[in-house]
Amino acid sequence: MSYSARQHHHDDETPIVPRWVLLCAAAAIAASFIAAATGGGGHVTMPASEPTIQRSLQFTDMPDGTVLVMDTTTHLRVAILARNSNAFIRGTLRGLAHAVGTDGANRPFLLTAWKDGRVTLADNATKRVLDLEAFGSSNVGAFADLLTADETAAPQMTPQTTSGAAP
């Protein structure tokens, strides 16, 4: 069979993709994995703003499935996140904890509301700062409630219906 006959002969289920296209795609995927693993990519600088309220919080998974939220400055309970609730808060914390290979317990996270309206969550262990607005207003609200929660009452927070995705 000649080269031209091999190049054009194929069944309907198997598309012909030139080898160089596959190699380029593999190289692009590998480069993106390397950039993600090493923290490569663009560096985003947030505009300067003054904090309006900050709270250093510690999140502890309890045996009954709840999450105890403590203010690390006052050492008082801020909230108890009910079992199977607050998926966005739980997922965010798992993601930050995963970056350092721990469960995130016994280390504080700095939650800050800024004058320009942003709400951020900073992890001093990894130096990561998440701008929570990127995840939608209902998800920002879940964290913002922790900024103003009464330390003495510490009611159970109502379960969230969001799955962590912006509406």
Same domain assignment for residues 90 and 132? yes
pTM here is 0.61
Supply angle C-alpha 151, 92, 56, rounded to 5.
Answer: 35
Q: Of 21 and 68, which is predicted with more confidence?
A: 68
Q: What is the pLDDT of residue 153?
A: 46
Average confidence (pLDDT) over 43-56: 76
Residue 25 resides in a domain: yes
Which pLDDT band, with edges at 50, 70 and 90, does 166 fall under?
Answer: very low
Q: What is the pLDDT of residue 159?
A: 42
Q: Which of 89, 96, 68 is nearest to 138 (CA)?
A: 89
Q: Which of 97, 63, 85, 92 is nearest to 155 (CA)?
A: 85
Domain count, the chain: 2
Same domain assignment for residues 30 and 88? no
CA–CA distance, 128 with 87 (Å, rounded to integer):
20
Per the structure block, which two tokens stand in for 135? 């995840």
Q: Inform me whether the pLDDT recorded for 36 exceeds 60.
A: no
Parent domain of 126: 51-157
Q: Inform me whether the pLDDT recorded for 48 exceeds 60.
A: yes
